[in-house]
Amino acid sequence: MRWNEFDAALLARIPPARLVSDPDLRLAHGTDASFYRLVPERIVRLDSLDEVRFVLALCRELNLPCTFRAAGTSLSGQALSDSVLITLTDSWRGHRILDGGARIALQPGVIGADANRYLAPLGRKIGPDPASINACKLGGIAANNASGMCCGTAHNSYHTLHAMTLLLADGTVLDSGNPHSRAAFAQSRPDLLAGLSSLRTDVLANTALTAKIRHKYRLKNTTGYAINALIDHADPVDILTHLMIGSEGTLGFIAEVVIDTVPEHPHKASALLVFRDAEQACLATSHLKSAPVAAVELMDGRSLRSVAGKPGLPDFIERLDLAACALLIEVHGESKEALVDRCEQVMGMAAEFVQVASVPFTSESTGLWAIRKGLFPAVGAVRTTGTTVIIEDVAFPVERLAEGVAGLQALFDEFAYHEAIIFGHALEGNLHFVFTQGFDDPAQVARYGAFMDAVAELVAVRFGGSLKAEHGTGRNMAPYVELEWGPEGMALMRRIKALLDPDGLLNPGVIINDDPKAHLAHLKPMPASDAIVDPCIECGFCEAVCPSRTLSLSPRQRIVLYRELSRRERSGEPSRELARLFDYQGIDTCAATGLCADRCPVGINTGSLIKKLRREKYQRFVPIARWSADHFAGVTRTARSALGLKNIAGKRLGEKALAGLVNGVRRASGQRPPARLPTLPGPSRYRWPQGEPGGTSTGIGDGHGETSERTVVYLPSC
C-alpha cells in the first residue's frame, strides 16, 4: 500500500518516464560496481534540488529508506538500496569556474574527467584522481572522499573542499559559501549547530581519542565518518560540510561542491624501478617521501608476473622472481629543466637501495603506466566464470609498509588466494589487493568471511592502519568500523548519525551496521551467460560513453539483464516477460558502437554480444533477405508499385481513413504489418534514361557518358 501512495504522490510531481517500477528494470538500474546485490523497490530520476527535497519529505512521511546514487562505480556496496534509489538526470552537470580556475563549483552529476577538461586550459585540475575518474561523478567523489594515485591525503576531497550546498534529511538546505544561507541556517537549526559544537568539545576533552584521530588521518582513511572534522574545524558549519565528505549519503544530499583546484604541470616523466624485494622497495618509498615525486605506485612480484609477456612491456618482467617488488614513479615539473633536475634527484635517492632492473625516467611513459593499469584486468582475465573480482583497499603506516605487504601475502597463502596481487599508492602506505571469489558455495562464503576477519585483525589491530583508505566503508567494512575505531570512536559516529538523520532513513546499513555478518549478506551472483561478457565485473566504467544510456540501458545494465535471462532459462524459471523487455531495452536500442570496450578494464565490447543476439533473433529472415538481394530489381519495382497504390488509396479513402484501416489491421494481427505513418513517402518518379551507362548492367554511369565502377557511399542511421 505504501508503494501505491508513493507512486501516486511522485507522479503528481514528476513525469512517469523518471519513475522505474518494473522489477526487471529495477534489477538492471539498481546494480552498482560492488559484489553486493539489492534490488530497489523504486528508482526515481530527479531533475532539481526541489525534487530531491520533495522525495525526501515523501520518504519521511511514508517511513521509506532511500539511497542517493551518482555513477554507481562504488566498490563497497554504498550505492545500493532495497527501498528507494534516487538517481540524477543529466541536468545535474553544471559547473562554474571561479577565481581564474583556483576554484571550481561542481554539481554532483559532473564526471570527474569532465571537471578536469573544463580546467585544463587554465593549467589546473581537481585534486582527487581516482582510477574511475572517466566514469565516476562528483557526487560520489565527495560522498566517498575519493583520492587516487597522485593526490595523496593533501589533495583529497576533504582537504580541497571550499564550500558546499547540502540538503539534510529534514529538508533544510545550506549553502556554506553564502553568508545569508549560513545565517538562515543558524536561525532554523540552532540545535544542530549546538550539537556539533558539543561533539567537538567532547572529542577535544578526550585526549586518547584525539590522538587516535590524528594518527588515523595521518594515513589515508575512509573507514567510518570523517571525525577529523571535529578537531580540524571550530565553526560548526565547517564541521558539518566536512562530515558530509565521505559520509556515503548517510547524513544528507550533496547538491554542489566548490573545490580548491591544484596545478596541472605541463611536464611529466615516469620511471619503473624494480627492487630485490618488498623490504627494499618500501625502504625506498620512505626515503622518497621527502623527494619531489607526484606518485609512487608499488607493485609486488605477483602483480608483475600477472602482466609478464604482454605486448609493449619490458622483457625483463618475465624473468623476475616473485620476491621482486617494483615502484612506478612519476615526477612533474613547471619546466623541462625543473623536470630533469627532479628526475635526477629521485634516481639518486633510489640508488641507495638494491635494484634488479629498471626503466629510467621517460616522458613517453604510456607503456609503463600500462603495467599499472593492466593489473586489475589481468586478475579479471583469469577468474573462473561465475566468480567475481574483489579489490580491497587498506593503509599501513609507511614505516611499516614492508611488514604489511608480507602480512597480506602470508594471508593469501593461508586462505589459498594464490592469484591475489598487491599494488597501491606507496607514498601513503595505501595498498590495494585483488583476488577472485565465488559466492555460490557456502564454503567459499565462509572462506571469504574468515579471510576478511584475518585482514581486519592484521591491518587495524596489529598495525594500527585503516581498513578502507579510499574506497569508502560501505556495507563491506561496516561490521569492522568498531574494531578499527574502538567503542569510543564508534559511539561518536552513532551520535553524528543520530544528530543528522534521527529517523535512520538515509542509506541504512552503510557505515553503521549492527549485523556482524552484514558483509556476507546480499552477495551478488555472477551467472554464466556468454563468453563475450562473462568477464564483466559490472564496474560501470562503460556507461559514460554509451549512446543509448538515457534511452534504454547502458552496457552494464544490458549485461545484468542478459545474465539474469540466461539464469532463468537454465533453471526453467519464467522468462518470457524479461525476454520481451530485453528485445527492446537490450537488443533493439543498442548502438553497438564498441565505445564501451574502450572504457572497459577487461576490454568487453557489449556491442559484439548484441550483434550476435541480433543475428540469432533475425536468422529466420536471412533466406528472405538473400532472395531479396538476388532479385533486387523486382523487389524495388514491387515496393514502388505498393507506394503508388498507397497514394491512390489515400486519395480515394482519405489519409485519415487509410491510417485507421492500416493501423486497425496492425492491431488485430499482433503488430505484424508496419504502422501507417504520415511520413511514408510516395513512389520515386526517377527513371534511368535508356541508353545511358547507368541503365546498363555493367556499371554505374560516371556522368560523362562512360561506364565505370563507381563508389557507392552508404549512410546508415542509428
pLDDT mean over 679-691: 72
pLDDT mean over 304-330: 92
Q: What is the pLDDT of residue 218?
A: 93
Degrees, nearest 5: CA angle 157-159-164: 65
pLDDT mean over 683-697: 61
The string of pLDDT tens digits covering residues 183-215 is 999 999 999 999 999 999 999 999 999 999 999
Phi, psi of 534 (to 5 degrees): -55, -30
* From 32-41, 48-57, 305-314, 477-486, the region with the lowest mean pLDDT: 305-314
717: confidence class by pLDDT, cuts 50, 70, 90: low
Residues 568 and 580: beta-carbon distance below 8 Å? no
Residues 600 and 587: beta-carbon distance below 8 Å? no
Give the DSSP H/E element, type plus range, for residue 662: helix 655-668
Q: Distance between CA atoms of 451 and 424, rounded to whole angstroms? A: 20
The string of pLDDT tens digits covering residues 119-161 is 999 999 999 999 899 999 999 999 999 998 888 788 999 999 9
632: confidence class by pLDDT, cuts 50, 70, 90: confident
Q: What is the pLDDT of residue 696?
A: 46
Q: What is the DSSP letter of 72?
A: -
Res. 5: pLDDT tops 60? yes
383: confidence class by pLDDT, cuts 50, 70, 90: confident
pLDDT mean over 609-619: 93
Residues 47 and 66: beta-carbon distance below 8 Å? no
Environment class of 117 (CB within 10 Å of its CB; exposed 0-12, middle 13-18, buried 19+): exposed
pLDDT mean over 13-38: 97
Q: What is the pLDDT of residue 710?
A: 58
* From 32-41, 235-244, 510-519, 656-665, the region with the lowest mean pLDDT: 656-665
Q: Who has greater pLDDT, 139 or 714?
A: 139
Q: Which residue type sits at 367? A: G
* From 289-303, 421-435, 460-474, 617-631, the region with the lowest mean pLDDT: 617-631
* From 145-154, 414-423, 583-592, the region with the lowest mean pLDDT: 145-154
The helix/strand count (H/E) of the chain reads as 26, 20
List Cα–Cα distances, 689 to 262, 650, 685, 695, in angstroms: 69, 30, 12, 7
Q: Distance between CA atoms of 165 and 258, rounded to whole angstroms? A: 9
Range 480-483, long-range pairs (CB < 8 A, 24+ positions): 480/223, 480/452, 480/456, 480/519, 481/223, 481/224, 481/511, 481/512, 483/456, 483/457
Residues 481 and 511: beta-carbon distance below 8 Å? yes
List Cα–Cα distances, 118 to 122, 212, 257, 576, in angstroms: 8, 39, 15, 46
Q: What is the pLDDT of residue 143?
A: 98
682: confidence class by pLDDT, cuts 50, 70, 90: confident
Q: What is the pLDDT of residue 370?
A: 83
Q: What is the pLDDT of residue 648?
A: 87
Q: What is the pLDDT of residue 150?
A: 81
Res. 716: pLDDT tops 70? no
Q: Distance between CA atoms of 394 and 389, rounded to whole angstroms? A: 17
Res. 381: pLDDT tops 80? no
pLDDT mean over 335-360: 96
pLDDT mean over 421-449: 95
The string of pLDDT tens digits covering residues 221-257 is 999 999 999 999 999 999 999 999 999 999 999 999 9
602: confidence class by pLDDT, cuts 50, 70, 90: confident
pLDDT mean over 438-448: 95
**Residue percentage of the chain with pLDDT more than 70:** 95
Strands (E), 140-218: 161-168, 173-175
**Residue percentage of the chain with pLDDT more than 90:** 79
* From 116-120, 233-237, 368-372, the region with the lowest mean pLDDT: 368-372
Q: What is the pLDDT of residue 640?
A: 87
Q: What is the pLDDT of residue 152?
A: 78
**Closest listed residue to residue 75, CA positions, set 128, 126, 134, 136:** 136
Q: Distance between CA atoms of 674 and 438, rounded to whole angstroms? A: 48
Res. 1: pLDDT tops 90? no
Q: Distance between CA atoms of 25 and 554, rounded to whole angstroms? A: 12
Beta-bridge mates of residue 67 = 85
Q: Which residue type sits at 190? A: P
Q: What is the pLDDT of residue 380?
A: 78
pLDDT mean over 160-181: 98
629: confidence class by pLDDT, cuts 50, 70, 90: confident
Tell whether the torsion through CA atoms of 309, 312, 313 and 316 is positive or negative. Answer: positive
Is pTM, for the whole model, over 0.85? yes
List Cα–Cα distances, 706 to 366, 383, 688, 697, 699, in angstroms: 53, 61, 15, 13, 9
CA 198 to chain centre: 37
Neighbours of 263 (CB within 10 A): 12
Q: What is the pLDDT of residue 293?
A: 95
Please state, rounded to an integer, the average pLDDT across all residues of the chain. 92
The string of pLDDT tens digits covering residues 552-573 is 999 999 999 999 999 999 999 9
Cα pseudo-dihedral 434, 436, 442, 448, rounded to 10: -20
Environment class of 525 (CB within 10 Å of its CB; exposed 0-12, middle 13-18, buried 19+): middle
* From 278-292, 607-621, 658-672, the region with the lowest mean pLDDT: 658-672
* From 158-172, 286-300, 364-378, the region with the lowest mean pLDDT: 364-378
Q: Who has greater pLDDT, 154 or 298?
A: 298
Cell of residue 92, nine digits: 545535474
